[in-house]
Chains A and B, each alone.
Chain A
């Protein structure tokens, strides 16, 4: 069954290289297509360079959007990771 799901996360730190890599690795485990939206920019969550390229910084809102059979699980897991991985000192 195809689902469409999304959630908004406010970053507590910048989405720099290492969190972007963790996110892309986690996103790859889901069958659904997963995208991150920041303002009018969009990144494929499964592409580390695409995630880094949106240049999301602390305080910005990131919309995590997934479409596919495991969209709800993907949004839940990636939102949590996004909130944790960008914590200062992570």
Chain B
């Protein structure tokens, strides 16, 4: 399987620490081969979400194979949806994953590392909804 350009992953969280920590974990599980960008917290460093940070992270994660966005909760989801609804150029293809944040990020990173396309990476992230921990 070709792994020229892997699908990028954007983690959107209310907390910069949560986004960065999840990115570190998922990045290591993906064998360091996957572009993972984060948009955590507000522009002035508080808990919350920032559309500017999401926009920047999308550009950073895009290597030409498309991007999967994982929001954590509530306004992260609204912010991502608001950005996608705007009439501005964004990475193509772009999918928003409806998945648990940590498990979804890890599953997406592994799927992206194996050269999966956006559809495959999205499916892997969303399968995390049914993954049992115990």
Of the residues B107, B115, B116, B132, contact of A48 by C-beta under 8 Å: B107
As a 0/1 sequence over residues 33 to 57 of chain A, the CB contacts with chain B under 8 angstroms (1 = contact) are: 0000000000000011110110100
Chain B interface category by residue count = 20 to 34
Contact yes or no, B30 A49, CB < 8 A:
no
Contact yes or no, A53 B30, CB < 8 A:
no
Q: Is the interface of A mostly helix, strand, loop or mixed?
A: helix
| Chain B residue contacts of A53, Cβ below 8 A | 131-133
Total chain A interface residues with beta-carbon distance under 8 A: 15
User: Residues of A with Cβ closer than 8 Å to B?
Assistant: 17-18, 21-22, 24-25, 28-29, 47-50, 52-53, 55
User: Residues of B with Cβ closer than 8 Å to A?
Assistant: 1, 25, 28-31, 103, 106-107, 110-111, 113-116, 124, 127-128, 131-134
